Amino acid sequence: MKVADREKTAERLLKSSADKFYDPEVDIDWAAPLVDGKFFVPEHRISLYGTPMYESLSLEQRIELSKHELASVASVGLWFELLLMQMLVKVVYNTDPTSRHAQYALTEVADECRHSTMFARLVERVGCPAYGPVRQVHRLGKLLPTVGYGPAMYGSILVAEEILDRLQREAMADDNVQPLVRMVNRIHVLEEARHVRFAREEVVRGMPSLSRAELAYQRWLVANVSMYITRTIINPAVYSAVGLDPREARRAAFGNPRFHETMQWAGERIISFLDEVGMIGKPGMRAWRRSFLIG
Question: Residue 214 domain-assigned?
Answer: yes
Residue 130 near residue 75 (C-beta atoms within 8 A): yes
Note down the domain range covering 64. Answer: 3-19+55-290
Cβ neighbour number for residue 211 with a 10 Å cutoff:
8
Question: Residue 14 domain-assigned?
Answer: yes
Instruction: Say how far apart CA 68 and CA 63 lie, in whole Å.
Output: 9
Instruction: Say how far apart CA 191 and CA 165 lie, in whole Å.
Output: 10
- Helix, strand, coil shares of the chain, percent, nearest 5, are 75, 0, 25
Phi, psi of 260, rounded to the nearest 5 degrees:
-60, -45
Question: Residue 44 domain-assigned?
Answer: no
Instruction: Say how far apart CA 39 and CA 130 lie, in whole Å.
Output: 19
Question: Residue 47 domain-assigned?
Answer: no
According to DSSP, the residues that pair with 39 across neighbouring strands are 177
In tens digits, what is the pLDDT along the chain, a chain of 295 residues?
456 788 888 888 888 888 777 788 888 999 999 999 999 999 999 999 999 999 999 999 999 999 999 999 999 999 999 999 999 999 899 899 999 999 999 999 999 999 999 999 999 999 999 999 999 999 999 999 999 999 999 999 999 999 999 999 999 999 999 999 999 999 999 888 888 888 999 999 999 999 999 999 999 999 999 999 999 999 999 999 999 999 999 999 999 999 999 999 999 999 999 999 999 999 999 999 999 999 7
Question: Residue 29 domain-assigned?
Answer: no
Cβ neighbour number for residue 251 with a 10 Å cutoff:
13
Structural domain count, the chain: 1
Residue 196 near residue 108 (C-beta atoms within 8 A): no
Task: Calculate helix-pair angle for 59-93, 150-172, nearest 10 degrees.
Answer: 150
Cβ neighbour number for residue 282 with a 10 Å cutoff:
11
Residue 148 near residue 87 (C-beta atoms within 8 A): yes
Q: What's the pLDDT at 5?
A: 80
CA 127-138-128 angle, to 5 degrees, is 5
Residue 259 near residue 253 (C-beta atoms within 8 A): yes
3-state secondary structure of 174: coil
Question: Residue 168 domain-assigned?
Answer: yes
Residue 73 near residue 119 (C-beta atoms within 8 A): no
CATH of the domain at 67: 1.10.620.20
Question: Residue 45 domain-assigned?
Answer: no
Q: Which amino acid is at 95?
A: T
Question: Residue 192 domain-assigned?
Answer: yes
Q: Which of 264, 245, 262, 261 has its CA nearest to residue 53?
A: 245
Burial 10-40 (b: 16+ CB within 10 A, else e): beebbebbeeebbebeeebeeeeeeeeebbb
Residue 130 near residue 123 (C-beta atoms within 8 A): yes
